[in-house]
Amino acid sequence: MKIDKNAEKLLSELESCGFEAYMVGGCVRDSVMGREYHDIDITTNALPEDILRVFCSYKVIPTGIKHGTVTVLCDGEPFEITTYRIDGTYTDHRRPDSVEFTSDITADLARRDFTINATAMDKNGSVIDPFGGISDMKEGIIRCVGDPKKRFSEDALRIMRAVRFASQLGFVIDDDTATAIHDMKDLLQNISNERIRDELDKIVCGKNSTSVLLEYSDVITSVIPEFKPSIGLDQRSPYHKYTVWEHTVRAIGFAPENDVKLRRTLLFHDIGKPACMKLDETGRGHFKQHDRVGAEITEKVMKRLRYDTKSISYSTALIANHSKKLRGRADVKKMMYRIGDELFFALTEMKKCDNSAKNEFVLEENLYFDKLADTGREIIAGNECRSLVGLDINGSELVALGLKGAEIGEMQHKLLELVMEDELPNEKEILLKYAEKECKK
């Protein structure tokens, strides 16, 4: 197996000084599986003071020296080098209260989360695999090292990580590990919102996200309880064949795996449906205003999970408009004005993903959404007016007609509406004449 040249250099430096040294964890897993890897962690029987001495000619940062970790920069690239260790108790269900250094690589690997992450590789590509990690990689299994309940009790984030690996790698979680996940999911309350957020984004972008989100919906609702009413909720609609949650999950699966913004938005897009559901006299379900309500709930949840303002604005704008009807060119211009060009195209893609998780006959509408996207591109290419900035009249010219304060903005918006609806051409003279006529009424 090909070893990163900088990692090989650091491993050789440690070995030349009489120490053992291995790459460990995710980089080994991905290397064995033929996947591209980036972050490389190194483990060694050298004590922290030995690591500092070996790399005295390198730039070194004592990142977590209390826990045996030193960061060494090699050609500007950071590598975490950690002494073999045995973790003490985890009273906060996240980090060990203390660590004990050891000279045994197997003892170090025994403290790790899953067998697929409990392998080590030397500079020659030879792998140490005391817990059957390579076998589990080949069979596609996520399995805790040792007792799953002990592993999750130590660090509750491992619950989310297990679900994330199953989603990303397309693996199945073994029965004992899965049982512990369901039983211990409430321990996730001990984990920071930022950590939950990061794992959630990776889960929804996994190639196996659909089956994982369906099977482990209780894990998701343990960290986002606002989703609980969606689980198992029959929509009672001719457009839908799935419950709200299953529809949501399947819609995510139709978005590109690498589009985290769209997949994240689809996760939240129908979160407002349970609160808005009304049954008519025939028993059919209706969800008026669920887009608006969903955007409001999404904003609260995303703020709680510490998403940045731009990400929150992106998702809430799409969710608030995902049920809006677009009947032609004028509606396309109005939507582009409301949410911007970039989000308009994201909206058409979102609508297609949404439709793809409904009954088959609804899929025909996706061709219409493609045509709307084409219309949007034509509007951009022709620089057609779709904003106040593009209007061929400005506020000063309206002031000259005698308009004041809020009247100016009201007239601008009225003129923009007429231009976008093609009832008036975007020509200054004609717009001024119309405004002047309105002022005299």
Lookup: tokens for 23: 């790459």
Q: Is the pLDDT of residue 98 over 80?
A: no
What's residue 36's pLDDT? 86
Distance CA 307, CA 313 (A): 10
What interhelical angle do 365-381 and 329-339 show, nearest 10?
70
Classify domain 1-129 by CATH number: 3.30.460.10
Rounded mean pLDDT, 89-102: 80
Q: Please, where are the H alpha helices in 272-364?
A: 273-276, 290-304, 309-321, 329-339, 341-356
| Residue found by looking up tokens 């022709």 in the block | 382
3 dihedral zone (left: phi>0; alpha: psi -120 to 50; beta):
beta
| Closest C-alpha to 168, from 29, 278, 289 | 29
The predicted model gives 78-103 an average pLDDT of 85
Would you say residue 101 has pLDDT above 70? yes
- Outline where DSSP puts E strands in 204-246: none
The token duo for 136 is: 């589990």
DSSP helix, strand, coil percent of the chain (3-state; round to 5): 55, 10, 35
Token digits for 103? Answer: 């000279």
**How confident is the model at residue 389, as a pLDDT?**
92
Please write the tens of the pLDDT for every residue from 263-281: 999 999 999 999 999 999 9
**pTM value?**
0.91
Q: What pLDDT does residue 62 have?
A: 85
The whole-number pLDDT of residue 249 equals: 98
> Among 25-39, 120-134, 365-379, where is mean pLDDT lowest?
25-39
Closest CA to 88 of 72, 102, 74: 102
How far apart (Å, rounded) are the C-alpha atoms in residues 116 and 132? 8
Q: Could you say which DSSP state residue 144 is in? A: B
Separation between Cα atoms, residue 372 and residue 384, nearest integer Å: 15
Average pLDDT over residues 146-154: 95
In the chain, where are the structural domains located? 1-129, 224-384, 395-439
Across residues 281-286, what is the average pLDDT?
A: 97
Q: What pLDDT digit, counting tens, does each position of 7-53 carry?
A: 999 999 999 999 999 999 999 999 999 998 888 999 999 999 999 99
Q: What is the mean pLDDT of residues 354-378?
A: 97
Asked if 426 and 389 touch (Cβ cutoff 8 Å), the reply is no
Q: Of the given ranges (89-98, 154-163, 330-339, 371-380), which has the lowest mean pLDDT?
A: 89-98
Q: Write down the pLDDT at residue 1.
A: 61
Class of domain 224-384: mainly alpha
What token pair was written down for 160?
Answer: 């989310």
State residue 96's pLDDT score.
73
